[in-house]
Amino acid sequence: MTSEEIEITDEDVKVPIAKLVANDKKRVKIKDMADYYDIFFAVEKTTFFYWESHPNITDRDVINAFNSIIQDFDNQKEGTLASEILKGVKAILILRKRNKKRDYTSGEITSCISLLINLAKEHKSSDGIGYLKWIKTFFEGDMPITKEEIIRYIIKNEI
């Protein structure tokens, strides 16, 4: 595949999400995040990049953006976290179509976002950025592995 075939433009991601997903709003129980790795990656990587350029956002802002997306996939104010996340998700959905992979349903996308809301709430901290620190740790490749590392991480970042 050439770079022209995989390039996603700003125009591409303006398409309504309904044109990129199968028409089924039924939510699903996500047993393994790996089944939707590309959606989770798009949402969390976009959130991480947005935080880097908007360092004053908090987990509450992220949760509000996630809730806003669930309420309305297509009508987010340009430049907001919700808008940027949806561009990332739409880019993944476009690539899946181009690569002839199964279309996700709108219910699956909603289920992914709902799961991330729960994760964000679990990673709360006194400074209000526990979840943001968690995704930063993930994308910087510094995830705790051992029980001791996990305990140290929680004490340092989430208490």
Residue pLDDT, tens place only, 64-75: 999 999 999 988
What's the pTM value of the predicted model, to 2 decimals?
A: 0.88
User: What mean pLDDT do residues 2-24 have?
Assistant: 79
Q: What are 26-29's contacts with CB under 8 Å, separation 24+?
A: 26/105, 26/107, 27/107, 27/108, 27/110, 27/111, 27/114, 28/105, 28/107, 28/108, 28/111, 29/111
Q: How confident is the model at residue 3 (pLDDT cuts 50, 70, 90)?
A: very low
Each residue's pLDDT tens digit, 108-145: 999 999 999 999 998 888 899 999 998 998 898 877 88
- Give the model's pLDDT for residue 4: 45
How confident is the model over 36-72, as pLDDT tens digits?
999 999 999 999 999 999 999 999 999 999 999 999 9
Q: For position 5, what pLDDT does the model report?
A: 56
